[in-house]
Amino acid sequence: INALLWSDHADKGRFMALPVGTSIDIDNQGRFALPVGSVVGKHFRLNGQLVETRLLLHHQQPYGWQGYSYEWNDTETEASLLSSAKDKAIDGQVWHYPSRAECDSCHTAVAGFTLGPEVGQLNRTFVYPGNGIEANQLITLESIGVLSAALTDAEKSTAFYALDDTAYSAERRARSYLHSNCANCHQPGGPGGGEMDLRMATPLTDARICNEAPLGDTLGLINPAIISPGNPEQSILVLRMEDTGQHRMPPLASSVVDTQAMTVIREWITTLTECP
């Protein structure tokens, strides 16, 4: 995907599978709506070691989408399904295996359930390991008949931006990162506090973050804003993302600060001279 979800230094391999004869719909936000029977998965590796695989399965109603976490043994020969959350010390850090309830707290209907599979994330080239061919993922899915309808011009032109792709502005890269890591909760109807909307497609004028007062703890600041133009140190969004204690955002699945992301986000806020 283009804008990675931060997972405490873990490298991830992503995959999905659909039942034979089915296809993927794309909703009006560019998100993939996968049919019943689909599976979306991620392998997590720390320093090359396979530590976890998470599966998201689309069951028949009333169960719908359900998440499952598997812990790999040290020899990477077997993974065990976990029935509850677990913390494990791996290579000097604590790795958190989420409970099924924690999976549900992020993979919500408001967020489109699957999170990663969407137009802006998959609109990029990929080297397919089966044949070594390099091709755009969206065009490939369309050409093999996996999509239920032809891609529109708008979908073909929608893309998110990687943190390290300096050909694009800090704003585009920061907004892409916030979409991937925060917007699943912080959007209209989402479980996140306040009225902010961190989806990439939402203009900054409508995102309710620029010079907006935070609803929660002000972390000791005088008159802070969620984002204070030109001043990252007065921006609650920055301070909460850099916190490793009770005020940390995101509150689940991460206890290590993404320093690369914070550099880009700070650069973006510094370049803001005013709220649009």
Q: Per residue in 227-242, pLDDT tens?
A: 999 999 999 999 999 9
pLDDT at 194: 86
- Average of pLDDT values for 245-263? 90
Question: pLDDT at residue 5 above 90?
Answer: yes
pLDDT at 245: 87
pLDDT at 39: 98
CB 196 within 8 A of CB 213: no
Q: Where are the beta strands (DSSP E) in the chain?
A: 11-17, 25-26, 32-33, 39-46, 49-58, 65-72, 79-81, 86-90, 93-97, 125-127, 134-136
What is the value of pTM for the model shown?
0.95
Q: Per residue in 63-122, pLDDT tens?
A: 999 999 999 999 999 999 999 999 999 999 999 999 999 999 889 999 999 999 999 999
Q: Per residue in 165-210, pLDDT tens?
A: 999 999 999 999 999 999 999 999 999 988 999 999 999 999 999 9
